[in-house]
Amino acid sequence: MKRILYLHGFNSAPASHKAQTLAAVMRDHGLAQQWHCPALPHRPSQAIAQIEAIIAPFGWQEVTVVGSSLGGFYATWCAEQYQCRAVLIQPAVLPQIGLAAYLGPQQNLYTGAQYELTPTHLEELSALEKTHIDPERYLLLLETGDEVLDYRDALTKYAGARTVVRQGGDHSLQCFAEMIPRVLHFAGMP
């Protein structure tokens, strides 16, 4: 059975707009049982352990990981580690560098949970980086107006992947709702 595992971004949660939009479409199409969207811990090593535990009962062969921002970085790790497919939405390419500016107190935008972003977080992210990727595994969704990440970094990292680049927009991928049929098709779902 085909499944989608949605991975949210930094300081985000399953309550995010994109996660909820995709969940609603899957419910409307009778695919709710094939949807997984965990609340990821802030520690990268714990997030990966949770992701692996969710998929272990099903296996990775039928999974498409959909990752937004930092979730896209995690999705890349999953795709290369387990040879599954991944849809990347405005993915963080080198979060261990980009998040260095945010070291210190953090608060999840959806849950209000507070924690400290430390150098250990960045070290754990560095350990998860996949420097070589198979572009055939990916669908890359980008908007050029991303105010958080430079979309060109993703174009370089995932050169050769199926790619949609929209002019304008922002880090939230404003065109996400219209991309959902493409995401489901890529995941092998009706």
Q: What are the backbone angles phi and psi of residue 48, rounded to the nearest 5°?
A: -65, -45
Here the CATH number for the domain that contains residue 49 is 3.40.50.1820
Q: What are the backbone angles phi and psi of residue 91, rounded to the nearest 5°?
A: -70, 145
Q: What's the pLDDT at 172?
A: 87
Contact assessment for residue 168 and residue 144, using Cβ atoms and an 8 Å cutoff: yes
Mean pLDDT of 37-43: 97
d(CA 187, CA 190): 9
Contact assessment for residue 12 and residue 69, using Cβ atoms and an 8 Å cutoff: yes
pLDDT at 171 > cutoff 80: yes
Mean pLDDT of 160-176: 93
Q: Where would I find the beta strands (DSSP E) of 74-137?
A: 85-89, 104-107, 114-117
Domains in the chain, number: 1
Confidence label for 166 from pLDDT (cuts 50, 70 and 90):
very high
For residue 148, the 8-state DSSP code is S
Q: What are the backbone angles phi and psi of residue 165, rounded to the nearest 5°?
A: -120, 120
Q: What's the pLDDT at 170?
A: 85
* Residues of the domain holding 7: 3-186
Of the chain, the percentage scoring pLDDT greater than 70 comes to 100
Confidence label for 190 from pLDDT (cuts 50, 70 and 90):
confident
pLDDT at 99 > cutoff 90: yes
pTM of the model: 0.97
For residue 108, the 8-state DSSP code is -
Residues 2-32 have pLDDT tens digits of: 999 999 999 999 999 999 999 999 999 999 9
Of the chain, the percentage scoring pLDDT greater than 90 comes to 96
Mean pLDDT of 153-170: 96
Mean pLDDT of 55-64: 93
Q: Write out 6-25 in H/E/C secondary structure.
A: EECCCCCCCCCHHHHHHHHH
d(CA 142, CA 46): 27
Contact assessment for residue 9 and residue 92, using Cβ atoms and an 8 Å cutoff: yes
